[in-house]
Structure 1
């Protein structure tokens, strides 16, 4: 049951992203490139939560990252059906970059914690760590 509960924060944040994507116009400053920064940040949080959930669920950490990147792709497809919105491959790249950044930071922090505890094999983590 705890393994399933670990996914609730990631699911909740995915629902927030879905609801924002369902709006014809998302509020934000009219600054060039701001949407890419927003995509990166939103998906960095989703990536962190998904990798954390995978870690707590005894799944490979990469599973959480892959799910985050795939969710970004489905989000862009979803926008094809929202009036005033359209899919953008560059948005998906920003989503994937956010997930990748979260995965990178999470695995590095996890490896440091393991090294401090003196865990055997606490070197650089593999994708299945």
Structure 2
């Protein structure tokens, strides 16, 4: 097969682009999962984070996930994904937050907390909207 027969959407550049934009949110989500699997994650945090409310940490955590999802949807999910990147990022990060709370039910002594999910959703909103405002004024 010569170069002209390769579809542009499956070019090596497209594969690199997909990886470059989708690997960060996947790795970040994996890190969230690992933290959620710890019975006492507060013991694993750096000491300078010890005095910060867990709700603020949830907000920051999911703002980061949403920002990364927004980038991926905006630049590596086709025309429809780009057009709806803001809402897709917010919904994806919030749903991941919900699945994370469910995951914690199975990690003794942790439990699901609807206020954590609220902080996750607010973080998802702020992360995606903030990144969009910064990068696409």
TM-score range, shorter chain: 0.7 to 0.9
TM-score normalised by L of structure 2: 0.75
Deviation at 1:109, TM superposition (A): 2.2
Deviation at 1:3, TM superposition (A): 4.9
Q: Which has the larger radius of gyration?
A: 2
Deviation at 1:103, TM superposition (A): 1.4
> Who is 1:4 aligned against?
18
SS of residue matched to 1:83: coil
TM-score normalised by L of structure 1: 0.79
Count of residues in Structure 1 that have an aligned counterpart in Structure 2:
110
1:105 aligned onto 2:133: no
Q: Give, in whole Å, the separation in 1 of the partners of 2:119 and 2:32.
A: 14
| Runs of 4 or more above 3 Å deviation | none
Flag structure 1 segments of 5+ consecutive residues without an equivalent.
113-129
> Who is 1:69 aligned against?
94
Cα root mean square deviation, aligned: 1.5
SS of residue matched to 1:16: helix
Flag structure 2 segments of 5+ consecutive residues without an equivalent.
1-14
